[in-house]
Structure 1
Amino acid sequence: MVVLVILPFFIGLLMIAFIIIAAVKNKEGGERMIRHLYTYLVLFATLMMVIGGGISIFMATADLVSPPAYYQSYSDFKMMKESEKTSRVGQEDLTEEDIRSQYDQLIEDEEQRQKNNAVNQIIKSLGFIVIPLPIFIYFNRLRKKIIET
């Protein structure tokens, strides 16, 4: 378990050490190589953010179209309401229709809450597309200019 946590760290250190050694050996192209590497790292990071935002939007849209079901059954809700009767002294008892209408309202409220959460998630996920996409486009154009020269 510890090895799985430490392994990516050591791989990253080895990659950085390899890049530094290659840049030192090739003094003329070292700066150029570091520029290329930086450009590709920014392109990779921004592309991963855009892909992650797209996946998140897809998942939130699925929750919006078909929200997760409410898990409390009517019988559980009814038992809870009946147990509240014993703690309420001097109040009138709820009829079966009242309990059913409260349960239906609870389900509607929960479904609306799930839909609101899905819309909120879509808006947040758009940030993972709208913010890094211009950076990706800029660095991709910069990469093309570097390759042409």
Structure 2
Amino acid sequence: MVKQVYHYAVAFITLIMVISGGVFAFMSMADYVSPNIYIETFEDYKSMREHKNETEHEASISENDLIAQYDAMLKQQLEYRKQSALNGLIKSLGWIFIPLPIFVFFQRKINREKNITK
């Protein structure tokens, strides 16, 4: 009796882990395909840079240079979010592939025990 409860408990826990891994993998894939990033407007970026230059007594940067820096910042944020989503996807796949063989093993044990008792 205790052995059966143990087998069912392990099968249930590993099944929950596989399902959770699948959900997290789906969410990570969605974040990779369509990253959710906060993008400050160019006007906000420009005003912060101008304020920084005033406080540090640096020379003003031309509008074209500011646009190039802003575009580079946007690309960097997008790449960071995609890399983070890819990292999350790999971790989520671990939550699927590590407990899955354990679930299959215990599920087969449960089925064998059912066939023996019949």
Using structure 1 for the length normalisation, give the TM-score: 0.75
Greater C-alpha radius of gyration: 1
User: 1:15-37: CA deviations, max 9, x gaps?
Assistant: xxxxxxxxxxxxxxxxxx21111
Distance 1:145 1:127 in 2: 28
**Which residue is 1:115 aligned to?**
82
Cα deviation, residue 69, structure 1? 2.9
1:54 aligns with 2:22: yes
Q: How many residues align?
A: 116
Of 105, 108, 112 in structure 2, the residue corresponding to residue 141 of structure 1 is 108
How does 1:53-92 map onto structure 2 within 5 Å? 53-89=21-57, 91-92=58-59
Q: What is the percent sequence identity of the aligned residues?
A: 40
Q: CA RMSD in A?
A: 1.0
User: 1:32-57: CA deviations, max 9, x gaps?
Assistant: x2111111111110000000000000
Distance 1:136 1:38 in 2: 12
Unaligned 5+ runs, structure 2: none
Distance 2:98 2:53 in 1: 54
Unaligned 5+ runs, structure 1: 1-32
Q: Which runs of 4+ in 1 moved over 2 A?
A: none
**Which residue is 1:42 aligned to?**
10
Kept in 1, the 8 Å contact 2:14–2:99? The answer is yes
